[in-house]
Amino acid sequence: MNNNNTSAIFITGNSRSGTTMLAKILGKNPLVFMFYELHFFEQWWYPEKEIKKITKEEAVDLFSKIISLQREGFLAERNPTQFYKEATKFFEVNPKSSITAPQVFMDFLLYESMLHNKIIPCEQTPRNLFFIEEISVLYPHAKII
């Protein structure tokens, strides 16, 4: 799985400004998979000057948490441990010599999109508005709306 040339879509904006509606419209495209609000950049990883490498175990843990968030919902009482086996298998099939949290996030977006037979992930957390610069550096081929 190669996320270097990914054309992911990040929808940003003020709360209650129509970001979910826009994501639903884009999600009607047969190539686009619409994600729920994942809040990766504020809850799971906060931008830092030097992106730290994480261990495979930390990557599996993060991947499991993001799966849980997407599949069980933001407000649900989530149980990420039920997704550890799936996350572990992902990293066995897609081994990496160096792992960072932003790579895990994009890997998840691509993985979950492919599970739904889509190739373009569309993440729509309005607060990503505060992380536009980081998103453009981390994912140079991404589109930001």
For 107, phi then psi, to 5°, come to: -55, -45
User: Residues 2-24: pLDDT tens digits?
Assistant: 555 668 999 999 878 888 899 89
Single pTM value for the model: 0.91
pLDDT band at 126 (very low <50, low <70, confident <90, very high): very high
Q: What is the pLDDT of residue 47?
A: 84
Q: What is the pLDDT of residue 38?
A: 94
Q: What is the pLDDT of residue 33?
A: 97
User: Residues 30-84: pLDDT tens digits?
Assistant: 999 999 999 999 888 988 778 899 999 999 999 999 999 999 987 778 899 999 9
Strand-pair partners of 10: 123, 144
pLDDT band at 103 (very low <50, low <70, confident <90, very high): very high
Strand-pair partners of 120: 32
Token digits for 143? 């589109």
Token digits for 102? 């932003």
Q: What is the CA radius of gyration of the chain?
A: 14
Residue 53 DSSP symbol: B
Residue pair 89/67 in contact by the 8 Å Cβ criterion? no
